């Protein structure tokens, strides 16, 4: 009986995500002493300086409690600063510190190497097709164009990720 390729997409995605996350975490920790979850938060804060924790949670598609813990670790490591929000007395604005910017600078060559290895493995066309397919899957089936991912997850009744350290 001939071997047939495994077509259990969810299982394959889980296995690939785990392997890639473990490898990427190892590389990020060695380069800048940050995890991929922390890297994702730093990228998001750099892209939207002054964002609130609630906004960061939406961007990362995480529960606010998980993001609160993640931000606490980033603040404790000196990578992110909390600043008073000018309009919302209970909210804080998040900004990269010099240490956070330096961590992003130190990790970038490793991120570039990681992506280059994936490009070599998949080929340029395969890398582009995979990126597009993963983007579509992240948006979710049946999601109206322009609907934020977090809203689509909520409307679908799907559980959100609860671990601030598990996504990258």
Q: How far from 76 is each of 73, 91, 108, 149, CA to CA, in Å?
A: 5, 18, 22, 29
Q: Is the dihedral of CA 22, 46, 63, 32 positive or negative?
A: positive
Tokens found for residue 58: 């939406």
Kindly tell me if the per-residue pLDDT of 87 is higher than 80.
Answer: yes
Please state the rounded mean pLDDT for residues 73-93: 94
Q: How far apart are CA 81 and CA 72, in angstroms?
A: 10
Q: Give residue 92's pLDDT.
A: 93
Percent of the chain with pLDDT over 70: 82
Q: Which residues pair with 94 in a beta bridge?
A: 51, 82
Query: pLDDT tens digits, residue range 44-73?
Result: 999 999 999 999 999 999 999 999 999 999
The highest-level CATH class for domain 9-156 is: mainly alpha
Residue spans of alpha helices (H) in 48-166? 53-60, 64-76, 98-139, 149-156
User: How does pLDDT run across 89-141, given as a tens digit for each residue?
Assistant: 888 999 999 999 999 999 999 999 999 999 999 999 999 999 999 989 888 76
In whole angstroms, give the CA distance from residue 57 to residue 12. 27
- pLDDT at position 158 is 44
State the residue for tokens 């490009």.
119
Task: Say what the pLDDT of residue 5 is.
Answer: 80
Q: In angstroms, rounded to a whole number, what is the distance separating the alpha carbons of residues 73 and 29?
A: 14
Rg (CA), the chain: 18
pLDDT of residue 147: 56
**Residue located via tokens 């130190």:** 106
């Amino acid at each position: 009986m001939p071997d047939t390729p495994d077509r259990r997409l969810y299982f394959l995605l889980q296995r690939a995500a785990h392997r890639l996350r473990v490898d990427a975490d190892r590389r990020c920790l060695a380069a800048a002493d940050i995890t991929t979850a922390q890297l994702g938060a730093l990228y998001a804060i750099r892209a939207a300086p002054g964002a609130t924790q609630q906004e960061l949670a939406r961007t990362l598609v995480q529960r606010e409690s998980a993001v609160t813990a993640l931000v606490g670790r980033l603040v404790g490591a000196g990578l992110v600063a909390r600043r008073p929000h000018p309009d919302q007395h209970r909210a804080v604005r998040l900004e990269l510190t010099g240490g956070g910017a330096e961590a992003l600078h130190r990790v970038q060559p490793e991120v570039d190497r990681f992506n280059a290895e994936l490009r070599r493995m998949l080929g340029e066309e395969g890398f582009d097709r995979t990126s597009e397919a993963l983007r579509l899957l992240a948006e979710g089936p049946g999601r109206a164009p322009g609907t934020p991912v977090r809203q689509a997850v909520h409307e679908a009744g799907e559980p959100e990720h609860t671990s601030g350290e598990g996504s990258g």
